[in-house]
Structure formats: structure tokens, C-alpha cells
Amino acid sequence: MKRILSLFALLLVAAIATAQVHIPTRDEVGAAVCPTEIAPIKAPFYMPEMVRPTFPDYTVRVACPTNGDMATRAIQKAIDQTAKRGGGRVIVPAGHWHTGRITLKSNVELHLEEGCELHFSGEIEDYLPAVFTTNEGVEITSLGACIYACDEENIALTGKGRLIGPKSGSIKERQVSFAVEKIDINTPVEKRIYDGRNGGEVFLPTFFGPINCKKVFLEGVKFEQGFFWNIAPVYCEELIIRGVEVESVGIPRGDGVDITCCKYVLIEYSTMGCGDDNFAMKGGRNEYGEAIGRASENIVMRHCLTLRGHGGITCGSETAGWIRNLYTHDCVFDGTQIGIRFKTRRPRAGGGENLTYERIRMRTTKGAIVWDMLGNPAWTGELASRFPVRSWTKLTPAFRAITIRDIVVEGCRELIDMKSIPESPVRYLQIENLTLDMRHTQCDWDDARNRKLMLLRDVEGMSMRNFKMIGAKKPLIEVVDGRNLLFENWTTEGITPEMHFEGPLTGDIRFYNSPGWEQFTR
């Protein structure tokens, strides 16, 4: 009997060892396949039970004007009256409605019926009075968001309706781009007023921008051609985003989902085609965010699809309050410029830690996994230069404790492009079970200009195990001041390995069970 049990145990172990991890395909993810129920969350950190919210049994159907007049007053009146009654559901019917800013209230669900189109105004007057909001991590008083809420609890925007931004108007004509360039940190928030009055400037409103709210639910709607960032909650807790679509290709800074200093977030079954980053996690900017000290943390993103855009899943570049405990899994990035992206700059502070990515399929037009921690001289000046090495300060950002596993890359220009900061190298990076298939990519790696498979610059403590490469003939790996690097179980038959080493700190590089590569152990 013991022998039978022992044999059974050995067979079980063998079966587990040979089991194939399923990497989703495009038709298994995104808004088109969003289920009705929210599945339980399994994450490598604590997450509360995330459930569909409930609202009082009271419904108001908005009677929108039919002569082309603004529907703002009718929609807002229905929301306000429902909130005064203790909450309920406000339904906007099918139709083509014009509106200015809409403000959600506690215990109210705003539901857009299928066929409902909310066309938002491009005029400043339709977003006044100015409200407390943020611009890329800097607190201001300006136009807020097209759909706005502040200090509310248990709010929802749902349905199959569309939200459509304007093509022109005074907002775009009098916009100012970056608050960090306009505002002195010593100026009180209540005096950082950009409301456009008397011909003054304004900051672009986000599309859906709750701030300092709890229990926020967003489901089903589609955002098209907004001013700026589309789904941009700030300082929120217990936030669910599911089954939504964003189409902002061609919109500068047209991010899809930007999570800023929020806690307990679930993003699932959503589809992004964007003019900038698709999904981005942010923690506030520079000394402004460092002074506030609020992190984006305990975030799960699953079963999402990205199409065009700058980054499938991005951390940064606003990192001051930290981005921690992020779990991204079972996603597809198809045609995005970069798949997994890490961004920050020398003065941005904070950084990212305890970041996990697994079971992701990607096809990118640029890099698959990219760190950009120095930026462009056009924006950051001399701080974009690696040298001289700067002293560590409270505004020095860092990325550490990152796990990337069970990844399939079906074409890219660079597999890993790591440009980090010499005084703050990427630390404690684990990559496991990565397959790179270059058979169907347009990138010609025989061309010397495209031969850099990996650039590992300023990294300390990295392991890369179980790496399989298909279809790349002469890939180059360049290590610059990389130390304590372990590469194990690499399968690259028919490929001529090549490595270049630079920098006085480069060393302790080990290859195991990787034919052709073990010669580079040093």
C-alpha cells in the first residue's frame, strides 16, 4: 500500500510539474467578454471582498430636452433629488444629449441606457464653478471632471452608453498643460485657482474623475475622444472598474485609466485604445506628492485588453507617494507600443515596490518590458543624463521587488530595455517562464540597429529563469553597471549569443544550464 501511495505521489508531482500555464488570448479578455458576476480575488496581498454595490429601491428616469438644449440641468436635478431621498438609480435614456459637468452624489447610480450618448461641452462656462481637483498629481482648483464627485460614498456610473468629448471650444483654446510648471508649492490649494474667468487659463478636465470618494463603481460605459485622461480617480478607496472601453487614439495625453493615490482597486475586463498610456498607476508628483504622502496600493488588474497606446500597464511617471502591491494578471497587450512599463524621473520621488505581473500575452511595436527612469532632456534637462551620479535625496525614486512570470511575447523591438538611475538601480527583479517568439514580427534583428535583445543598465539583484527564444538569430545583450545577475535554463537553439559588458560595477553574472550563454559567466 505504501508503494502504491508513493507511486501516486510521484505521478502527481510529475503531472503538476508538466502542467501548462494558460496564457490568455485576445478573445478571452476585454470588455466584450465581461461576465455579470465579479469573481473572488486572489492576490499576493490583502484585498477586501469587492462586490457590486447596492442602492435604495428608487428610480428616476431623466426627461432630457429634445430640442438640442443642454441636458445638464435635467440630469443634475435628478441626481440631486435622488440623493436627498437617500439614494437610488438615475437613468438617462437613449438619445443624443449635450451636457456640461455632471456631479455624482452618495448612494446614487447614474445609468446610461444602450443608445445613450452624452456629448460633453467644450466651453469653460459649462464646468463652473471651479472645484477641487488635481492635475497630474498636483492639487488645484479648476474645472474638475466631466463626471465629477468629491467626498462622496457609494457612487456608480453604469450602462451601455457612450461619453463623447468635444472637438473644440474655449477649454482647449485656453488650456495650460502642466500644473507643476505653474504653481509654487507654497501657494495654498484654495489659491491655486484656474477657472478661466476674465480670459484666464484652465486645466483640462478628466472624463470620469471622482476625488476622495469611497466605494466607487464604474461598469460598461464607453469613453471617446476626451479632453485628457479618461478614467482618473484620485484619493479613492474601494474602487471597481469593469467592462469599460476607452477610445482616445490621437488625443495627446489621452490615457485610458489613471489610478492616483487610491487604495483597494479592482480593474477587470476592460478594453483600451489610447493616445497615451492604457492603464497607469500613479502616486503624485515631485515634492507636491511627497508632501501629501498617499500611495496607490493594493490594486488588482485582470482580464484586460489593450490595443494602441503607449503602455499596456504603466507605473508612473508620477511616483511620489509610491505605487505598491500591484497584481496584474491574465491580460493581453496587442499592438501597444510597450507592454509592461515603469516610468519616473529624478525629482519624482517615491517609486514602485511589490509589483507582480503574470500570465500576460503581448505583441508590442517597441519594448516588451521597459524602465525609463531618466526621461528626455527636452523635459528634464540635465537630470536626464546618467552622470554625474547624484546624491540620494527624498526626491530620488526607486523601483524594487518586482516579479514577472509566465509571459509570452509574440514580437517586439526590444525584449527588455532598462534605463534606470545609477544612484537608484532597479533592485530585486525576478523574471520567470518567459517565451519570446520573433517568427512573426517585422523587426529585423539581423540589422545591427535592431539587435539589442536586452539593455540592462543600473540593475542590482536580478534573476531570469526558464527563458525560451524562438526566431531571433543574433540578439545582443548589453549590461551596463549590472551586478548580481542570475540567468538559468535558457533555451535558444540556433541562435548566436552575444553579450557586451560596460561599467566598473558590472560583475557577478552567472549562467546555469544555458548552452551557449555560460561562456559569459563572470
Instruction: List per-residue pLDDT tens for the chain, 522 residues long.
Output: 444 444 344 334 334 444 589 999 999 999 999 999 999 999 999 999 999 999 999 999 999 998 778 999 999 999 999 999 999 999 999 999 999 999 999 999 999 999 999 999 999 999 999 999 999 889 999 999 999 999 999 999 999 999 999 989 999 999 988 777 788 888 998 899 999 998 999 999 999 999 999 999 999 999 999 999 999 999 999 999 999 999 999 999 999 999 999 999 999 999 999 999 999 999 999 888 888 999 999 999 999 999 999 999 999 999 999 999 999 999 999 999 999 999 999 999 999 999 999 999 999 999 999 999 999 898 889 999 999 999 999 999 999 999 999 999 998 999 999 999 999 999 999 999 999 998 766 555 455 555 678 999 999 999 999 999 987 767 789 999 999 999 999 998 778 889 999 999 999 999 999 998 999 999
Q: Can you name the residues that pair with 84 across neighbouring β-strands?
A: none
CA atoms within 13 A on the CB side of 241: 32
Q: Are residues 175 and 315 in the same domain?
A: no
Strand, coil or helix: 213: coil
* Residue labelled with grid coordinates 473644440: 168
Strand, coil or helix: 166: coil
Last residue in a domain, options 276, 309, 338: 276
Distance in angstroms (rounded) separating the CA atoms of residues 402 and 420:
14
Q: Are residues 43 and 58 in the same domain?
A: no
Q: Can you name the residues that pair with 334 across neighbouring β-strands?
A: 363
Omega within 30 of 0 (cis) for the link into 388: yes
Q: Are residues 480 and 425 in the same domain?
A: yes
* Residue labelled with grid coordinates 475586463: 269
Q: Can you name the residues that pair with 507 across neighbouring β-strands?
A: 483
Distance in angstroms (rounded) separating the CA atoms of residues 49 and 329:
18
Q: How many domains does the chain have?
A: 2
Q: Does any domain span residue 199?
A: yes
What letter represents residue 66's amino acid?
A: T
Distance in angstroms (rounded) separating the CA atoms of residues 253 and 492:
39
Q: Are residues 115 and 250 in the same domain?
A: yes
Burial of 223 (0-12, 13-18, 19+ CB in 10 A): buried
**pLDDT number for residue 9:** 41
Q: Are residues 195 and 246 in the same domain?
A: yes
Q: Does any domain span residue 302?
A: yes
Q: Does any domain span residue 29?
A: yes
Neighbours of 69 (CB within 10 A): 12
Question: Which residue range is the domain that position 339 belongs to?
Answer: 23-47+292-522
Residues 6+ apart with CB under 8 A from 256: 230, 231, 246, 248, 270, 272, 274, 277, 278, 279, 280, 306, 309
Q: Are residues 230 and 156 in the same domain?
A: yes
Q: Does any domain span residue 269?
A: yes
**pLDDT number for residue 420:** 97
Q: How far apart are the first and last CA of the chain?
A: 51
E strand or H helix that includes residue 10: helix 2-18
Give the CA-trace dihedral at 272, 355, 483, 316, to 10 degrees: 50
Distance in angstroms (rounded) separating the CA atoms of residues 231 and 258:
6
Query: In angstroms, how far is CA 308 from the centroid of its own chain?
Result: 14
- Cβ contact 55:88 at 8 Å: yes
CATH number at residue 171: 2.160.20.10
Q: Are residues 68 and 137 in the same domain?
A: yes
Q: Does any domain span residue 5?
A: no
Strand, coil or helix: 161: coil
Q: Are residues 213 and 362 in the same domain?
A: no
Q: Does any domain span residue 6?
A: no
**pLDDT number for residue 102:** 98
- Cβ contact 78:90 at 8 Å: yes
What letter represents residue 509's amino acid?
A: I
Strand, coil or helix: 30: coil
- Cβ contact 522:507 at 8 Å: yes
Distance in angstroms (rounded) separating the CA atoms of residues 489 and 516:
11
Q: Are residues 133 and 214 in the same domain?
A: yes
Residues 6+ apart with CB under 8 A from 171: 122, 123, 124, 127, 143, 196, 202, 204, 205, 227
Last residue in a domain, options 216, 247, 276: 276
Outline where 264-370 has alpha helix (H).
286-292
**pLDDT number for residue 184:** 86
What letter represents residue 462's amino acid?
A: M
Q: Are residues 379 and 403 in the same domain?
A: yes
Q: Are residues 384 and 472 in the same domain?
A: yes
Q: Is this model's pTM higher than 0.85 or not? A: yes
DSSP tag of 162: E
DSSP tag of 33: G
Residues in the chain: 522
* Residue labelled with grid coordinates 527564444: 469
- Cβ contact 249:273 at 8 Å: yes
**pLDDT number for residue 66:** 81
Last residue in a domain, options 222, 242, 276: 276
E strand or H helix that includes residue 295: none
Q: Does any domain span residue 36?
A: yes
Q: Does any domain span residue 1?
A: no
Q: Are residues 173 and 300 in the same domain?
A: no
Distance in angstroms (rounded) separating the CA atoms of residues 206 and 163:
12
Nearest Cα neighbor of 434 from 350, 352, 340, 351 is 340
- Cβ contact 303:330 at 8 Å: yes
List % helix, strand, coil for the chain (3-state, nearest 5): 15, 45, 40
Residue ranges with strand state E in 59-161: 59-61, 88-92, 95-99, 102-103, 108-112, 116-120, 131-135, 138-142, 145-150, 153-159
Q: For residue 318, what is its C-alpha cell?
A: 508620477
Distance in angstroms (rounded) separating the CA atoms of residues 5 and 13:
12
